[in-house]
Amino acid sequence: MPVNPLSPLRLALNSHLDLLPVATLVLLNKPFNVLCQFTDSKGRRTLADFVNLKQVYPAGRLDYDSEGLVLLTDDGQLQQKIAAPGRKMPKTYWVQVEGVISEQALALLRTGLALKDGPTRPALAERMPPPERLWPRHPPVRERQSVPTSWLTLTITEGRNRQVRRMTAAVGFPTLRLIRYGIGEWCLDNLAPGACSTRTVHLPQAQRQTKRPAKRTKRKPV
CA proximity to 45, closest of 70, 64, 66, 67: 64
Helix axes 103-111, 163-170, angle to 10 degrees: 130
Q: How far apart are CA 169 and CA 48, in angstroms?
A: 32
Question: Is 63 labeled as catalytic in the residue annotation?
Answer: yes
CB contact at 8 A, 120 and 147: no
CB contact at 8 A, 90 and 61: no
Q: How far apart are CA 73 and CA 83, in angstroms?
A: 11
Determine the distance from the C-alpha atom of residue 206 to the mean position of all C-alpha atoms in its chain, rounded to a whole number.
Answer: 26
Query: To which H or E segment does residue 126 belong?
Result: strand 124-128
Residue 95, C-beta contacts closer than 8 angstroms, at least 6 positions apart: 151, 152, 153, 154, 164, 168, 175, 177, 178, 179
| Among 40, 63, 65, 75, the one annotated catalytic | 63
Q: What is the DSSP string of 144-156?
A: -TTS-EEEEEEEE
Q: What residues act catalytically? A: 63
